[in-house]
Amino acid sequence: MTEEPSKLDIPDEMLAERRGGLKKMPDDMPSWMVSTIIKIDKFSKQVGNVVCWILIPLIFAMTYEVLARKFFLAPTIWAYDISRFLYGALFMLGAGYALSRGVHIRADFLYRNFKTKTQGLIDFWLYLIFYFPGLIVFLYMTIGFVGESIQRGERGMDTTWMPYMWPIKTCLLIGIIFLLVQGISELLKSYWAAKKGEWPGENK
């Protein structure tokens, strides 16, 4: 027989369980803010729904490699690179969706004990001071990174397959853009939390 979670157990759950996904937006929130948050979050969800399918070829590549190597003594020259590329693409392209669900690693053991207004205030300023400036610099550097890779026809040197590197580097560039877009929604949510003491769409 399972026991109902006590009040002491609830704060130990991930904040994503409380804020993951929008339910009902506050009635007094400006319409432009509601529209912006909902559209961005829906976009990130659609991206997440598509990106998750990368798992299928990733699993297939790894399974094929193991079977070919162990049972037929015929290891591939492509499985290592494909697995790296697909995992990297899954990680970067899904980062914006992960942010929208609140599942990025953070110091929840401290953060969860703060008042909602304090949480919103911390998030708001961290987004403005560190998140957006950092990602914008990262985006600028990555544009040159990708352009140089395409221009040089850069290839991976870890295996004899030597695949082109620009596709995975392009995924990095697109992933940063997705994070910047989702960051706008998160900035607005944190502003509202700091101002009103409640997270928009919070699961209570």
Instruction: List, for residues 56-114, the tens digit of each pLDDT value.
Output: 999 999 999 999 999 999 999 999 999 999 999 999 999 999 999 888 776 677 778 88
174 and 43 in contact (C-beta within 8 Å)? Answer: no
Domain that holds residue 72: 29-104+115-196
- Give the Å distances, CA to CA, from 8 to 11, 13, 87, 113, 157: 6, 10, 37, 12, 52
At 106, phi and psi to the nearest 5? -155, 170
Is 22 within a domain? no
pTM of the predicted structure, to 2 decimals: 0.86
pLDDT at 20 over 80: no
Does the residue 120 lie in any domain?
Answer: yes
Count of structural domains, the chain: 1
Classify residue 16: in a domain, yes or no.
no
Listed residue (140, 177, 200) closest to 43, CA to CA:
177
Does some domain include residue 184? yes
Mean per-residue pLDDT, 173-191: 96
Asked, for residue 141, whether it belongs to a domain, the answer is: yes
In a domain, 3, yes or no: no
In a domain, 87, yes or no: yes
